[in-house]
Each structure stands twice: as structure tokens, then as C-alpha cells.
Amino acid sequence: MNKKNADVIVVGGGIIGSAVTYQLSKRGKKVLMIEKGDLCAGTTGACDAYITPHTKAPGFHLDLCLRSQEVWRTLEKELNEELEFEDHCGGLQVCQNQMEYDLCSANSEKLRAGGLEVEMLPIEEARKIEPALSVNLTGALYCPSAGQVNPFKTVYAYMRNARRLGAEELLHTEVTGMIMDGPQVVGVHTTRGDYYADIVVDAAGCWGGQIAKMAGCDFDIRPRRGQLIISEPVAPLIHTTMQTGMYMIIKHHPELITDERVKRLGIGYCIEQTKDGTIIIGFTREFAGYDKSTTLEGIEGILDIACRHIPTLRNLHFIRTFSGFRPYVPDNMPIIGPVDGVPGFFMAAGHEGDGIALSAITGVLIAELVVDGKAHFNIDAFSPNRFKKS
Amino acid sequence: MDNKDEIICRCQEVTRGEIEAAIEDGATTVEGVKKRTRAGMGLCQGKTCQRLVMKIIAEKTGQKPADIVPPTFRPPVRPVRIGVMEEDADE
């Protein structure tokens, strides 16, 4: 038998990988995290910072988010660090016309049926919550329980706690292959040598498909680029997290989009203000391979719609643009759990734009699956085995 | 010099002590220091502090300054008024 370096190897040092590393360590497993760059170097390092149950598809996805919020609510205390977590800053989905309002309204009924408190507000009411909104809008879907968090602080806090529990990490180390014993994964080849463990967890986000391929598994995880803009720090101006009603259309009803540019770039906006005072303004949702540049067309498109909805933004300055990749999966559901036919190999990837929100529960689930052999609720909808042709 | 309270990133008011703590926490790049401390995230986007941060990383980790991975520079080069980017902006 090969000498074992850890009970579990976690591939990926983003918010999913660090949540998994911490939760497994808490359950007594010896964990080795392997990350090809630095912590927070991929998707977690270039994303928004909100936890919004109302943007999830009603059903399993929403349920997973609600359960994740329960974990988030005790995380600062558990990790004993400040994560800039705001449990109830509220979320608005702002509608600029009746079509968006009607779609959000129909969706709000499904969300309510799924156990989420949401309401539709005419624009006068929405402006009482968010006075910066333009009077020319139609209204908004309001979710009081939407929250915010600092993803960087969360990753570092997870890892500091995991290290105290005995976890180790190898940064700037790339996994180059799986070590197999028959069908079973028993370790990984890396740019710094071979490492052995009972279980390997693929938490490599947008690169999760390539890691899975090394274990002989075929998962369609594609990088979807999101461009974002950062404003200069200003006094509190935006109190909630906001998206366009168009966001729901882009995310759940792409077939209804007629504008060619919106279709291609997936432009809407999501806006929130950080504790530091900067305003984060997203987003595009576009397929551009692993090209991490920002484009004038994308930035102009985002700011154009953002200024129409929040006119006072025109007077602020922006100081940076950036882009990040979201791990897109064709059925819009994360891939969480053991892979049939490949003992020792677990997936925890493919969360697309919901990774921050869902990271907390993903860590808990993987720890349960590894330690207890089952999760505390039914997660078949997220099983890696759902893609198998029956 | 050993002054932990010395401000290295003026925009975000990040001290030498905080940057050193970030390096002790595992940061080996300017980006790693930035994400842990916010040094370089302010108005000037690291134009002032980047070299100082690189120097501190070099001192603390024993790397050559030339080997330290610089941060990604992104548009705009200096702060730009958001209204200028609107499609029907009249300027």
C-alpha cells in the first residue's frame, strides 16, 4: 500500500475548496488542499459578494440556498472571524417595464410557494428601501432575507481554522493527473510530486471539468465570463443587493431576449456596496473561453443600464474593471457528491454564479458524504450521476 | 527599518505590519497581499504602494524582487466618471 499523505485531497483553493477543507477537518479528517495558484485566485477572487435566495430557481436550488443561509448565519461565530456578513441587507430585482414586472411577479409566487418571503413592490415603495432608484422604473421584487458577505475574508478564515485543525495546503501546485488503482482514485500527480489519499474532491470550479477528466469522468463545466466594475468609495448609497429584472430573464428565460447584444453578452446589472464604500457593478454572462480581459462593449453596456436605473451613479467615478469566470453547467445545477464507478472521487463544482451563496452548505454536504456516507437531506438533484444516460 | 505602523498603502491606509501579517498568512504575491489587506484596492489602484509591497514580500520571503508576480492592471488607467460611459452621454 502506498503511503498516505492525507485522508482527503481537495483540489481547488476557492470558496468551495476552502469550505470543504474546513468542514472535513472539523469532522476529524486529515485534509490536504492543492491549489494551482493562490487562495482566491480564480472565481472567488473575481465575483460579487451577495447571498440571494430570490435569484435561485424555485425547487431544489432554492432549498439548497436556504439551507446554506442557515450555515452562513453561524459561520462568523464558528470561525471566530469577521466576514462582513450581512444577513438581511435585503435584495431587490428592479423592473424597468411591465414585462419584467410580470415575469418577476410570476416568479415571486413560485418563490413564496418554495418557502421564501418575497413581495412585489411598486416603484414608489421600492424607492423607500432604495432611494437612489429612478422614478422611471416600474417596480421591484423584494426579498428581505438576501444577504452579503466578503468572499475573500471567508476563504482566509476557513483556511486559518482548517490549519488549526491539522489541514495542510499546497499552493502554486498544479494537479496534472490522477493516480488510479483500477477504477479507484488513490491520489494525484502534481507539479510537486505525487500525493496519496483515500478520497479526492474536485472543487476546481471552472477547471473542474479538466480535473474530472483525469479521473476518466466527463462533466460539462464551462467558464462563463462576468465583467464587473468598481466605483470609488463613497458614503452609503446602495443598501441592498440589486439586480435587474432582466437578470431573471437572462438566467431562467433566455429565450425571451430579443436584443442581440443582451443575448450575446448577457448584460444586466447587479449592484451592491461593500463595507469599504466601493460599489460593485456587474455583470455580463458571456462565453469567452478562459479570456479574462474586460471589453469596452461590456463595460459600456453594464454602466448604461445601471445609470438609467440609478441616475446618481453618473456622478461617481469608476476605478477598476475586472472579470471572472463562473463554472457554468448546462442544467444550471451544481455537481455535488461521489461519482458512480470511480470510488474515491467526489465532485464539488459547477455552482456558476451561486458559488458564494452555496459554498457553506456544499462544505457541510461533502463532509457528511465522506464521513457519514450520506447527506442529511436528499441531494439527488445535484448528484454527479444525474448526467449518466439510463 | 522596523515600523509596523508605517502606512504602505495610503488609499486604504494599510500598514507595514498588516502586510507582513498577510505574508505570514501565506501571501507570496502582490495579489495575495491585496486580497488579504486591501492594499492596492483604493483610488490609485496600487500605483503608489505596489513597489513597496513587492519589496516587503521580497524581504519577508527571500524572493528576488524581479521574481515576484506583479498584480494585473486593469482599465481605467485613472478614475473615470461613470456618466461618460453612457451610450447617449453628450460628451
Burial A99-109 (b: 16+ CB within 10 A, else e): ebbebbbebbe
Q: Tell me the C-alpha distance between A124 and A90, whole Å.
A: 17
Q: Tell me the C-alpha distance between A270 and A355, whole Å.
A: 16
CB contacts of B91 in chain A (<8 Å) are: none
pLDDT at A220: 96
Instruction: List the single residue in B27, B36, B80 with the smallest CB-CB distance to A318.
Output: B80
Best of A318, A322, A323 to substitute, by most chain B Cβ atoms within 10 angstroms, is A318
Split at pLDDT 50, 70, 90, the class of B89 is: low
Note the pLDDT tens digit of each residue in A291-324. Answer: 999 999 999 999 999 999 999 999 999 999 999 9
CB contacts of A172 in chain B (<8 Å) are: 28
pLDDT at B86: 85
- Residue A230 forms beta bridges with which residues? A280, A320
Best of B31, B73, B85 to substitute, by most chain A Cβ atoms within 10 angstroms, is B85
B47–chain A Cβ distance below 8 A for any pair: no
Regions of chain A with pLDDT less than 70: 1-2, 389-390
Read off the amino acid at residue A80. Answer: N
Please spell the DSSP secondary structure of A99-132, one letter per residue: HHHHHHHHHHHHHHHTT---EEEEHHHHHHH-TT
B68–chain A Cβ distance below 8 A for any pair: no
Strands (E) across A6-82 are located at: 6-11, 31-34, 50-51
A320–chain B Cβ distance below 8 A for any pair: yes
pLDDT at B72: 86
ipTM: 0.91
CB contacts of A319 in chain B (<8 Å) are: 42-43, 45, 76, 79
Element (H, E) at B52: helix B50-61
Strand order in the sheet with A241-244: A119-122, A139-143, A91-95, A241-244, A270-273, A279-282, A222-231, A317-328, B80-81
A132–chain B Cβ distance below 8 A for any pair: no
Best of A47, A320, A321, A323 to substitute, by most chain B Cβ atoms within 10 angstroms, is A320
Query: Do the beta carbons of residue A224 and residue A286 sit within 8 Å?
Result: yes
B62–chain A Cβ distance below 8 A for any pair: no
Instruction: List the single residue in B36, B82, B86 with the smallest CB-CB distance to A317.
Output: B82
**Which residue of chain A comes nearest to B78, CA vs CA?**
A319
**What letter would DSSP give residue B4?**
T
Element (H, E) at A184: strand A184-190
A316–chain B Cβ distance below 8 A for any pair: yes
Q: Which residue has the higher pLDDT, B66 or A30?
A: A30
User: Which residues contact residue A245 at a Cβ distance below 8 angstroms, ignoring those fewer than 6 apart?
Assistant: A93, A94, A95, A96, A100, A101, A103, A104, A140, A141
Give the closest-approach CA distance of A81 to chain B in angstroms.
13
Does residue B69 surpass a pLDDT of 90?
no
CB contacts of A294 in chain B (<8 Å) are: 74-75
Split at pLDDT 50, 70, 90, the class of B91 is: very low
Exposed/middle/buried for residue B75 (C-beta within 10 Å: 0-12, 13-18, 19+): middle
Q: Tell me the C-alpha distance between A355 and A349, whole Å.
A: 9
Contact A39 B80 (CB under 8 A): no
How many angstroms from the chain centroid is the CA of residue A365?
Answer: 16
> How many beta-carbon pairs below 8 A join chains A and B?
84
Q: What does the mean pLDDT of chain A come to?
A: 95
pLDDT at A157: 98
- Here the cell at position A143 is 426579498
Contact B85 A317 (CB under 8 A): no
pLDDT at A251: 76
Exposed/middle/buried for residue A333 (C-beta within 10 Å: 0-12, 13-18, 19+): buried
